[in-house]
Amino acid sequence: MNNSLITAVKSIFQDDKRHALANNMGETPLRVDQSLDAIIPIVLVALQRKDKSQLQNILTKAETTFAIQDSQVPSTDFAHSTAAPHELLDDITANNSAYISDSLHNYLGIDGENVQTLFAAALPAIFSALTKGGQHWDVDYVKGLLDSNQDDFVAQVPADLTPVLIDTHGDAGFHNSMPPATPADAIVDPTHTSPPQHSITEQAPLHTSESVKKTTKNKGIWWLLILVFIVALWVVFGKGCNGNSTTDARTDTLSVR
């Protein structure tokens, strides 16, 4: 859903102004629209995150800077006539304008100098919408307007450009949006990985047909040896017993006679 304040800023860029900007930069009007869709909410978020004292200084400088032109009609060549808009942009972005310009250059695919031109054209339109056409520069009014639209401003920033959102005190917003660094001891060098370690477990013996046959064969040999041993005992002791009984019988017979 479009924010009314952002819509008010965009409405200042009439077709003739957008075409003039596009011709000046060597871009298409569509590319200008896409660029403004990213630039306007980024600047508004940066302004909203200023405290009242910082915002007052920015409003004073903006009022002085844009007093020489009609704030309702953004200039197409103002960026090339003075460095004032660039200085104001540095104040708004806490000296991160170069980083923001590079990010927009990569995201939009337009020349870095053209990004600066678009910023210079967008700033007077933004302050015109915030101050009722340059007639109401009261810091309390502007601060209240920015705070009441904070969530809508952030929602309008393209997702790929959220890291460029600037916090009140320097670039804390940028750092907070970046992923935390991975601790050095948690980094694994892919060129020095150890082979996977597998726990060694003792395998249970497999009862194959060969092992069963071998076991059966061994058991058969032992039974045969036991049988032979029993027979041998019978031969030795059995004959001994029979021999003695025969001798005794013969002795008894002779005695009777």
77 in a domain, yes or no? yes
48 in a domain, yes or no? yes
d(CA 69, CA 71): 6
Q: Is the pLDDT of residue 183 over 70?
A: no
237 in a domain, yes or no? yes
Helix (H, G, I), strand (E, B) or coil at 222: helix
* pLDDT value of position 255: 43
Question: Looking at the structure, do residues 30 and 137 belong to the same domain, yes or no?
Answer: yes
DSSP annotation string for 14-59: -HHHHHHHHHHHT--HHHHHHHHHHHHHHHHHHHHTS-HHHHHHHH
Question: Looking at the structure, do residues 50 and 131 belong to the same domain, yes or no?
Answer: yes
121 in a domain, yes or no? yes
Question: Looking at the structure, do residues 61 and 124 belong to the same domain, yes or no?
Answer: yes
199 in a domain, yes or no? no
* pLDDT value of position 235: 64
Domains: count for the chain:
2
d(CA 14, CA 10): 8
* pLDDT value of position 56: 97
What integer is the mean pLDDT of 97-113?
89
Question: Looking at the structure, do residues 161 and 52 belong to the same domain, yes or no?
Answer: yes
Question: Looking at the structure, do residues 147 and 230 belong to the same domain, yes or no?
Answer: no
Question: Looking at the structure, do residues 98 and 155 belong to the same domain, yes or no?
Answer: yes
- 134: amino acid identity, one letter: G
Tell me the two tokens of residue 10.
């965009």
What integer is the mean pLDDT of 125-140?
94
Q: When comparing pLDDT for 38 and 186, which is higher?
A: 38
Q: Is the pLDDT of residue 78 over 70?
A: no
What integer is the mean pLDDT of 86-93?
90
227 in a domain, yes or no? yes
Question: Looking at the structure, do residues 175 and 228 belong to the same domain, yes or no?
Answer: no
In this structure, are residues 117 and 4 in contact, taking their beta carbons and an 8 Å threshold? no
* pLDDT value of position 239: 54
Tell me the two tokens of residue 15.
């077709």
Q: How confident is the model at residue 65 (pLDDT cuts 50, 70, 90)?
A: confident
d(CA 186, CA 195): 18
Question: Looking at the structure, do residues 165 and 40 belong to the same domain, yes or no?
Answer: yes
Question: Looking at the structure, do residues 131 and 246 belong to the same domain, yes or no?
Answer: no
d(CA 32, CA 37): 9
In this structure, are residues 40 and 32 in contact, taking their beta carbons and an 8 Å threshold? no
* pLDDT value of position 171: 44
Reported as a single tens digit per residue, the pLDDT across 154-173 is: 999 999 898 888 543 444 44
Tell me the two tokens of residue 171.
């670039």
Q: When comparing pLDDT for 209 and 32, which is higher?
A: 32
Question: Looking at the structure, do residues 163 and 54 belong to the same domain, yes or no?
Answer: yes
Reported as a single tens digit per residue, the pLDDT across 195-220 is: 445 444 555 555 555 554 555 555 55
- 164: amino acid identity, one letter: V
Helix (H, G, I), strand (E, B) or coil at 246: helix
Q: How confident is the model at residue 4 (pLDDT cuts 50, 70, 90)?
A: confident
Task: Provide the mean pLDDT of the chain.
Answer: 74
Question: Looking at the structure, do residues 100 and 224 belong to the same domain, yes or no?
Answer: no
Reported as a single tens digit per residue, the pLDDT across 227-248 is: 766 766 666 666 555 555 444 4
- Structural domain span for residue 156: 4-179
In this structure, are residues 121 and 74 in contact, taking their beta carbons and an 8 Å threshold? yes
Question: Looking at the structure, do residues 115 and 233 belong to the same domain, yes or no?
Answer: no
Q: Is the pLDDT of residue 53 over 50?
A: yes
Q: How confident is the model at residue 54 (pLDDT cuts 50, 70, 90)?
A: very high
* pLDDT value of position 215: 53
* pLDDT value of position 254: 40
d(CA 193, CA 243): 86
191 in a domain, yes or no? no
Using left for φ > 0, alpha for ψ between -120 and 50, and beta otherwise, residue 194 falls in: beta
In the chain, pLDDT over 90 holds for what percent of residues? 39
d(CA 146, CA 155): 14
d(CA 99, CA 90): 11
- List Cβ neighbours of 226 (8 Å cut-off, separation of 6 or more): none
* pLDDT value of position 33: 92
d(CA 115, CA 100): 9
